[in-house]
Chains A and B, each alone.
Chain A
Amino acid sequence: MTFVTPPLEDVQPPKWVKPTFTMRLQKLGPVLIVLLACLYVGVVILLPAIAVVVQAFAKGLAPFLENFQSEELMSALRLTLLDAAIVVPANCIFGLAAATAIARRKFRGKALLLSVIDLPFSISPVVVGLMLVLLYSPTNGLFAGIINSLGWKIIFSTPGIILATIIVTFPFMAREVIPLLEEEGWDQEEAAKTLGANDWQVFWKVTLPSVRWAALYGLILTTARALGEFGAVSVVSGNIRGQTQTLPLFVEDAYKQYNTELAFGAATILGGVAIVSLLMKMLVERMLEHDRTTRGAEDS
């Protein structure tokens, strides 16, 4: 039980006091702030977002749907989905492994390790791509010899795209799950352990369910970023139309070729994915909040 003090009533001067200029200004304050905030967000974010949709459907629904007959767009879409289908599970495994390994240990350099995991967020995506080129480029990469003797192709092909996407997106999962695990403590796992569960059972039946919403949140963020990554992928992909072009690369390329309708059509698909991920994020946030409050109630 916490004791809640009732909020003080708004102290208003009596009606017969003639409001001074400053008083009027003070009353207007909140309104001005809200207006300013809405105006800024409207101009900076909302207007461009609407512009994409309007441009895509400028000539009606039929020309928009015709975009899907473009072989290049469909191949870009396929590559993007394949990329995400490999990257997201791989990063989920890493994220959960890193979270269970790091969150509940206390060791020197833990803060450093957490910063290292966050590193891809602060490195420019172009630099991420550059690093991969320097490693795996068949002509002057560090591993050129090994790659050529094995006959692999990494740069300017799908493996490079996948590697680039993995690097750019791997921190999301760990970042969402670690704080929750740290907060939660070790009691339940300990109990499961003493009751004879093995490591796998503890992970699947105790740890994972307790962080399910945070993990889902991380999953959504990873997927959204994996589908939309541009900088890192553009450096390693070589941007060959119909072969190594992902959807975001296709958007840029089509726009540069003055294929405006195709560009806006593809952009609308990606924008739609972004909005869906935002909505799902909101739902999951609410579930996380709900979990937290019920857990808080149990504790007290």
Chain B
Amino acid sequence: MISRLRRLPRLPLPSWSWRITWVYLTLMLFLPLGGMLLKAFHVGPADFWQIATSPEALATYKISFGLALIASVINGVFGLVIAWALIRCRFPGQRLLDTLIDLPFALPTAVAGLALTAVYSEEGWLGKPIHELFGIKVAFTSLGVAVAMVFISLPFVVRTVEPVLRSLDMEQEEASWCLGASQTQTFFRVILPQLLPAILSGVAQGYSRAVGEYGSVVMISSNVPFKDLITPTLIVQKLEEYDLPAATVVGSVMLLFSLVSLVVINRIQIWGQRYQGAEAA
């Protein structure tokens, strides 16, 4: 396949498609990115560092990055359970479950925020019993923010683990049982190592999404600084105060995080492919 492509010196490509791609990418992506970098440079390194590490900003990083980590780890565990149920078990309502998993992708984030606030507020279906039983408020606290993050990052792990789990041979597990391993040993020594790249990749994607999430979190949080204010909301607040430099700086920090997480996710995926390739060979 590859050799044949190489033999053709000039593919009959419509050249306009190449031009459209670059013009579009330049206007829609490179220009805004460059503009923001330029504005960030204008701030100056000393001021940049001061704004980026101001107590207010640090508090939001702690909430955004910390809660997103908790949410994505929870989803790492339950995502595996759900993927297992979808691939390895047969039960009524399986298709419905499969469809529901995608709902957080399809549902507009504002609607998700409204729905979660309705359910977890003190009057809500879950908020009321939780408040009465444990005396904990969920909506309008950092716990609510975590719940919203769990909601929006749920599909990632399920969807990355599913194809890998499907391609796993039952024969390996049978071999492991035949060699005298218990079920737990088989799971931890045979199955889990093969699923690990997929799980990690899903967790990283979910984490990245949860950190950047705005719509659903802004509705379920009370947006009080140092309590449950997330970084994206801080950017919006700075913009509303016409404090453009501060918004630019905090925005650049988030952009840097997205770029790093993109690279990390890429690495994990390459690692996973190598693992699969080695296994096939």
Residues of A within 8 A of B (CB): 7-8, 26, 29-30, 33-34, 36-38, 40-41, 43-49, 51-52, 55, 93-94, 96-98, 100-102, 104-106, 115-120, 122-128, 130-135, 137, 140-142, 163, 166-167, 170, 185-186, 189-190, 193, 199-200, 202-203, 224, 227-231, 234-235, 247-249, 251-252, 255, 263-264, 267, 270-271, 274-275, 277-279, 281-282
Q: A97-B20, A98-B21, A167-B28 are in contact. Are A46 and B258 (CB under 8 A)?
A: no
Q: Is the CB of B11 within 8 A of A55?
A: no
State which of B49-57, B102-110, B194-202 sits at the interface with chain A: B102-110
Q: Of the candidates A116, A199, A247, A270, which one forms a contact with B12 in the assembled complex, judged by CB atoms under 8 Å apart?
A: A199
Assuming the contacts A104-B11, A135-B35, asked whether A40 and B174 have C-beta atoms less than 8 A apart, the reply is no
Q: A33-B84, A40-B82, A115-B262 are in contact. Are A230 and B108 (CB under 8 A)?
A: yes
User: Using Cβ atoms and an 8 Å threshold, which residues of chain B touch A200?
Assistant: 14
User: Which of these, A49, A126, A137, contacts B214 with CB under 8 Å?
Assistant: A126
Contact between A190 and B12, CB atoms less than 8 A apart: yes
**A231-B12 contact, Cβ under 8 Å, with A43-B126, A122-B262, A167-B32:** no
- Asked if B212 and A122 make an inter-chain contact with CB atoms under 8 angstroms apart, the answer reads yes
Chain B interface size range: 35 or more
Question: Which chain A residue shows the least CB distance to B120?
Answer: A48
Interface, chain B (partner A; CB < 8 A): 1-2, 4-6, 8, 11-14, 16-18, 20-21, 24-25, 28-29, 31-33, 35-36, 38-39, 78, 81-82, 84-86, 88-89, 91, 93, 97, 99-104, 106-119, 124-126, 150-151, 154, 170, 174, 183, 208-209, 211-215, 218-219, 231-233, 235-236, 239, 244, 247-248, 251, 254-255, 258-259, 261-262, 265-266
Give Cα A295–Cα B216 distance, bound, in whole angstroms.
42
Task: Find out whether the CB atom of B251 lies under 8 angstroms from the CB atom of A263.
Answer: no
In the assembled complex, how far is the CB of residue A76 from the closest CB belonging to chain B, in whole angstroms?
Answer: 11
With A44-B151, A130-B248 already in contact, the answer to whether A278 and B36 are too (CB < 8 A) is: no
In the bound assembly, the distance between CA atoms of A95 and B222 in angstroms comes to 39
